[in-house]
Amino acid sequence: MLLLAGILHMDVGLLTPLLGGQAVGPPVTNVMFLKTHKTAGSSVLNVLFRFAETHNLSVALPVGSGFHLGYPWLFLARYVEGLGRPGLQQQFNIMCNHLRFNLPEVQKVMPNDTFYFTIIRNPVFQLESSFTYYAAYVPAFRHVKSLDAFLASPWTYYNRSAGLNNAYARNNMWFDLGFDNDAPPDDEAYVRARLADVEQRFQLVLIAEHFDESMVLLRHLLRWQLDDVVAFRLNSRSTRSVTGLTPEGRARAKRWCALDWRLYQHFNRTFWARAHAELGPRRLRSEVARLRARRGELTVRCLQDGAAKNKSQITDPRLRPFQSGQADILGYNLRPGLDNQTQQMCLRLVMPELQYVARLYALQFPDKSPKRIPFLE
């Protein structure tokens, strides 16, 4: 009797049937990913594009010739191709191109049961990557030789009146979330309220420095297969174009991007609490090991020399990534002699962001002019 009583009072979550360590149930197919800048978001984007193509799902793509959804302005539903036009898509399954988050407008595009998630990165490294990538584009970065020099006297170069393009130079993740990146970081009530806003809207916040653990937890929550979340590093830089900050520079970066630092500290804590609550440390380690082993298998199967290549070494123009600023963006060559099915699978794994957006646009809107990628022409 005591045993029966105990069973009847068990947490029903413990009774969820499992298959191969994964909760049984249909995969989540309505997903909105807020792609923040310089946070490994391109690799996540590839995961979502592949899932959409494999499962014949619709993607909310930028209208016309564009590749971003109105960024850096706040997102509006009219930035999505085909939305609301007679005979065309009314809502979409996947939304993941760059945008500045604006929930009421996003909700016009995505179904009510959409799973929302985003990704963040230590703002010290995120700012360093932004400086290298956007040096010629961001007004605050144009006339300074190094990020250390910028951080030594940021107000010499940073002018709020320069407009939205300066958002890349300060609290860029906070800005991408739709908030004021110049808000006072010592306004504790404001900061806590915005962190609560993010917690309320996003079911998961991934951590770029723990990408594999992030993919494991995402897979668990979406009920996807292992191959759905295997990813190669995309839009990454060669080591020669990565500049380390001095210890003093790192401390200054945390102060300059204090809102992003609070964001990162908060969600780094909640990520690990969530991962351990959902999976437990042992299962998390096991699933990460499986993910890395599968990536290793696909590396051997798909990639020439098993390594990323610089732009001059990439032979297939479909696989050449966009180059920006002082960054040396790496890509991949596929192994020669692959059979057609394997080649198509491997091609999707390594296809750069712009090329994949153009590919999906052509599939979804065959009657429209294809998106041009000028640097490949």
Rounded Cα–Cα distance for residues 140 and 73 (Å): 18
8 within a domain of the structure (yes/no): no
Rounded Cα–Cα distance for residues 45 and 40 (Å): 9
Residue with tokens 């360590």: 21
Q: What is the tally of structural domains in the chain?
A: 1
Rounded Cα–Cα distance for residues 35 and 208 (Å): 12
Rounded Cα–Cα distance for residues 376 and 181 (Å): 34
Q: To the nearest 10°, the Cα dihedral for 368, 369, 371, 376?
A: 150
13 within a domain of the structure (yes/no): no
Q: Tell me how crowded residue 240 is: count the other CB atoms within 10 A of its CB.
A: 9
Which of 82, 81, 105, 94 lies closest to 35, judged by CA? Answer: 94
Residue 376: strand, helix, or coil: helix
226 within a domain of the structure (yes/no): yes
Residue with tokens 């590093």: 233
19 within a domain of the structure (yes/no): no
User: Which tokens belong to 366?
Assistant: 């065959």
12 within a domain of the structure (yes/no): no
245 within a domain of the structure (yes/no): yes
DSSP conformational letter for 44:
H
Following DSSP, what letter does each residue of 7-28 receive, concatenated? HHTS-GGGG--EETTEE-SPPP
State the pLDDT at residue 306: 85
Do 82 and 360 contact (CB within 8 A), yes or no?
Answer: no
Which of 46, 85, 82 lies closest to 366, judged by CA? Answer: 82
For the chain of 377 residues, list the mean pLDDT of each consecutive stretch of 10: 36 34 79 96 96 97 95 96 71 96 97 98 96 91 94 95 91 98 97 98 98 98 98 79 86 98 98 96 98 97 89 86 75 94 96 95 95 80
- The CATH number assigned to the domain holding 350 equals 3.40.50.300
H or E segment to which residue 29 belongs: none
User: Which tokens belong to 256?
Assistant: 């300059």
| pTM summary value | 0.91
State the pLDDT at residue 45: 97
What are the backbone dihedrals phi and psi of residue 32, each rounded to the nearest 5 degrees, phi first? -120, 120
Q: Tell me how crowded residue 104 is: count the other CB atoms within 10 A of its CB.
A: 9
7 within a domain of the structure (yes/no): no
Q: Tell me how crowded residue 317 is: count the other CB atoms within 10 A of its CB.
A: 11
Residue 157: strand, helix, or coil: helix
Do 171 and 118 contact (CB within 8 A), yes or no?
Answer: no
Q: Which amino acid is at 55?
A: H
Question: Containing domain of residue 166, as a range?
Answer: 26-376
* Helix 258-278 vs helix 281-302: crossing angle, to nearest 10: 100
Residue with tokens 């499962």: 55
State the pLDDT at residue 15: 32
Environment class of 33 (CB within 10 Å of its CB; exposed 0-12, middle 13-18, buried 19+): buried
Rounded Cα–Cα distance for residues 185 and 145 (Å): 27
3 within a domain of the structure (yes/no): no
